[in-house]
Amino acid sequence: MSGYSLSDFEAVLAIGRKASFRAAAVDLGISTSALSSAIAKLESQLGVRLFNRTTRSVALTEAGRRFVDQVTPALRDVHQALDTVRSQQDTPSGTLRINTFPTAAREIMAPLVLEFLRRFPEVYIDLVTEGNLTDIVAAGFDFGVRSRDLVPSDMIAIPITPARRYVVVASPAYLAGRERPQVPADLLSHACIRIRLPNGAMYRWHFESQGQPTQVDVRGPIILDEASLARMAVLENVGFGFFMESDVRSDIDAGRMVQVLENWTPALAPLCLYYPSRRNPPAAVKVFVDLARELARAAKQN
């Protein structure tokens, strides 16, 4: 091990996961140039190339794949040993990495993340948002937050929100002089803010009434992939938007938006904090789980 470091091995795994030096550097919190230099130094020490690089792609070589296959379980054992040591500490410290999607991040920010930071100022939170479902163990996260129906079956899951729902809204100015939709198909005669999914596909708005699901491929003048931008478009009278209720509830209550098709948007599965089962977790992990369970009890009462 002389001359090598755990960070070198973590760097190889990160690039292997992301197939990108730039994305791996973001994941590791270092610059792309620093990561490239570290890998070049490691390859020089090993005397073998771990990655094939072009201007457009990065891929593991055969030697690189064998290296990743053998190092991954070894690093897992190392981290388990470190967790065992850290679990003996009295004061929670260190960094917790959480993976979720943007809407969920907004929902958990105040009641869970910021409350945790207030209680445990010696712990840092690294919150990563992405639309695609991520293997939190392989990607080096302590926790994930997703809808209950998306949580892997081998994870421990804690429901941390009440039931959630989608809403369809427009501004009062847009609705002035127009007929309000009575059924989802009526949206086809209206301007709507279309939604692009992380994989590039257009999202069909989902509805359900009396157990019968339906989807509408809405039309409109703009396509967006971020809820805050869609909210701006609705407030500027562009047309109807489709949101998680938590993102626009204050606008509805203040009269800035009008909700329609309420009977077509039933309750959804709650958000869950999930994590792998492991012995002797670090103190920071234990107290974060405790706070999540506290939040879960409050959610049941709502």
Residue 1 has pLDDT above 70, yes or no: no
Q: pTM of the entire structure?
A: 0.66
Query: Of the candidates 169, 166, 138, which has an alpha carbon nearest to the alpha carbon of residue 154?
Result: 138
Domain residues of the chain, as ranges?
A: 6-86, 95-158+275-301, 166-264
Which CATH number is associated with domain 95-158+275-301? 3.40.190.10
CATH architecture of the region 6-86: Orthogonal Bundle (1.10)
Same fold, 95-158+275-301 and 166-264: yes
Confidence of residue 221 (pLDDT cuts 50, 70, 90): very high
Mean pLDDT, to the nearest integer, of 289-301?
85
**Over 80: is that where the pLDDT of 252 sits?**
yes
Arithmetic mean of pLDDT over the chain: 89
Give the count of alpha carbons within 13 A of 160, CB side only: 29
| CATH architecture for residues 166-264 | 3-Layer(aba) Sandwich (3.40)
| pLDDT surpassing 60 at residue 2 | no
Establish how many alpha carbons lie within 13 A of residue 9's alpha carbon, considering only the half-sphere containing its beta carbon: 19
pLDDT score of 157 more than 90: yes
